[in-house]
Amino acid sequence: MDYDLNLLKKYFDFVRDNENFHSLPNETAEDLELDLVFLKLDNTASKIGKQYFFAKLRSSDNNSQEFESFAEFFKNNPKEKEFALKQLSQLNNRKDYDIIDLLKEGVSSNEKYYKYAQFYLFAITLIAICGFFVPKILLLIIPLIAVNMVIHYLNKNYVDYYNSIIFRLQSAITVSEKIGRISKLQEEYDKINLKRIKKVMRFANLESAIVTNEYLSVLWIFTEIFRILFLLEIFSFRKKVNALEVSRKELLKMFEFIGKTDTSINLLKIQEDYNICKPIFVEEKKLRLTNIYHPFIENCVQNSLELQNESIAITGSNMSGKTSFMRSVAINVVFAQNFGFCFADFYSGPKMKIYSSISVHDDISENKSYYLEEVLRIKKFLEDRNQFALILIDEIFKGTNTKERIAISKSVLQNLNNEKNIVFVTTHDLEITMFLKDNNYELFYFDEEVNNNQLSFPYKLKNGINEKTNAIRILEMYDYPKNIVENAKNLVEKNGYR
């Protein structure tokens, strides 16, 4: 399926500045690869539904009840679900992605053209009256009409763009009205007042019908001439913009009603396709996960974990599954809190904010090095201590020298592990690991297996520390010169590198 993330995120960009909408930090959404999760799990029927699901996946409002009652209703009423899907599929035009543009503040009616249109009507009226007495004055109409043509077509692309979206908005209004008749949805739909905008839409539909119907194309020519003569398109468009402005809050309710309905049905399908459980939320620093897995990973190995007033440090060789496991935990926290289910046999934990430092990179545009970017990101984790938080850190402070990295990592991780934070950190430094063991971090590891010179990974989380490494072994497997491999081994033994 063809997805354009710039179109998908329009609703999210619109609502994330709303004080009532709390979203995951952008860097955390990137770290968790939420775009890929969306692409994997999206089965919404409408473009509005896709935008809504995309936004809610990034929400940190922790309001799963929003969907649970709708999903439960559709589960028990398959006919109503099929009817809703049929209606929602009517909103699958690419232009439907742009409906949210109409709900933003600042859709302009091109005020300068409107003022000219007002002047023109006054002038042509005055010329017509004077023409009764001095017929030659009527010739002044000719240059005015020429100016009209220029203004009409200068304004036309802008007006046509919004008119095409307004036409799709009418389709959305019709769909919302039809699904609003479903018994479970009717109460919520009745809270939306669209009377004023519907009146304006009737005329918009008539205009569109004239333009698109081949039998009415001759009539369109005459209406176009009439619109140029009296600049009717400018007045008509201003009326639509005013109606949109007055009805903007109600239209947003309608948009979200459609999005919520579509997303609820999508969440029901996910629950049918995957092994899921309902989360249990507690008000203490405890996390219990049984057979948790990542929905994006095919045949994902399930893992279990139980923490009580602790954080976790994970060691293991490269590619062994450390980062994927952290992402699995975070994705399940997102689904537990936002949608009321998760990908596991059992889930229990507090409602948490999610912070992460996984896919850190240099920011050339901001003149920030890898290390500085990580410093600034982790500083935010230290500042927020008001509520429970899940903090994910992959190979902490690897962008600086070994001596200072170890010292800073010990200090920061000790500080982060307070009564509210559950910290997941991966590291290759055994010195850091042993320090964390004495500072209320539970130690786990992932390992690898080598058979017939082939490296494989079981991806199972195990208690303790993995002191095995595979970096030099991988050089051997990929036929690095023997002298380089042997020299590396000797340096490890001589200097005690770990």
CA dihedral 389, 394, 396, 398 (to 10 degrees): -160
Q: Which helix (H) or strand (E) holds 356?
A: strand 353-357
pLDDT of residue 195: 78
Of the candidates 285, 473, 485, the one whose C-alpha atom is nearest the C-alpha of residue 388 is 285
3-state secondary structure of 298: coil
Quick check: 238 pLDDT over 50? yes
Q: Which are the contacts of 266, defined by CB distance < 8 A and separation ≥ 6?
A: 41, 42, 43, 44, 49, 53
Q: Which amino acid is at 480?
A: Y
User: In this structure, which amino acid lies at residue 152?
Assistant: H
The DSSP string of 90-134 is GG-SGGGGGHHHHTSTT----HHHHHHHHHHHHHHHHHHHHHTT-
CA distances from 482 to 205, 469, 485, 490, 498 (A): 76, 18, 5, 12, 21
Q: Report, in angstroms and rounded to the nearest whole number, the Rg of the chain calculated over CA atoms.
A: 31
Q: Who has greater pLDDT, 495 or 100? A: 100
Q: Is the confidence at residue 82, as pLDDT, over 90?
A: yes
**Segment 379-401, tens digit of pLDDT:** 989 887 778 999 999 988 887 78
Q: How confident is the model at residue 368 (pLDDT cuts 50, 70, 90)?
A: low
Residue type at position 248: R
Tokens 């909408």 belong to residue: 21
Grade residue 449 by pLDDT with cuts at 50, 70 and 90.
confident
Q: Decide if pLDDT at 120 tops 80.
A: no
Look up residue 425 and give its DSSP letter.
E
The answer to whether residue 328 scores a pLDDT higher than 60 is yes
β-strands 389-394, 421-426: how paired?
parallel
pLDDT digits (tens, 9 = 90+) for 403-445: 888 999 999 999 999 999 999 999 988 889 999 999 999 999 9
Q: Which of 7-21, 89-103, 320-334, 390-404 has the lowest mean pLDDT?
A: 7-21
Tokens 């023409």 belong to 131
pLDDT (average), residues 346-364 = 85
- When mean pLDDT is compared across 163-167, 183-187, 211-215, 364-368, the lowest value belongs to 211-215
Whether the Cβ atoms of residue 339 and residue 278 lie closer than 8 Å to each other:
no
Beta strands in 395-460 (DSSP E): 421-426, 441-446, 449-451, 454-456
pLDDT of 210 reads 46
Residue 167 has pLDDT above 50, yes or no: yes
User: Does position 159 have pLDDT exceeding 90, yes or no?
Assistant: no
- Residue that wins the pLDDT comparison between 496 and 473: 473
Pair 351, 283: CB distance under 8 Å: no
- Least confidently predicted of 163-172, 212-221, 241-250: 212-221
Mapped onto helix, strand or coil, the DSSP state of residue 21 is coil
Percent of residues, the chain, with pLDDT higher than 70 = 88
Residues 35, 74 contacting (CB under 8 angstroms): no
Q: Is the dihedral of CA 254, 256, 257, 263 positive or negative?
A: positive
Q: Is the pLDDT of residue 497 over 80?
A: no
pLDDT at 218 over 70: no
At residue 211, the pLDDT reads 47
In this prediction, residue 318 has a pLDDT band, given cuts at 50, 70 and 90, of: confident
> Mind listing the pLDDT tens digit for each residue in 125-149?
888 888 888 788 878 778 877 877 7
Rounded CA separation 193/223 (Å): 32
The partner residues of 422 in beta bridges, in order of sequence, read 390
| Contact assessment for residue 341 and residue 277, using Cβ atoms and an 8 Å cutoff | yes
CA 230 centroid distance within chain:
45
pLDDT exceeds 90 at position 96: yes
Each residue's pLDDT tens digit, 174-203: 999 999 999 999 999 999 988 777 766 665
Q: Whole-prediction pTM value?
A: 0.86
Give residue 270's pLDDT: 97
State how far the Cα of 11 lies from the Cα of 406, in Å rounded to an integer.
43
Q: What is the mean pLDDT of the chain?
A: 85
Residues with Cβ within 8 Å of residue 167, at least 6 apart in sequence: 204, 205, 208
Q: Which amino acid appears at position 478 of this protein? A: Y
Mean pLDDT, residues 332-349: 96
Burial 211-246 (b: 16+ CB within 10 A, else e): beeeeeeeebeebbeebbbebebbebbbebbebbee
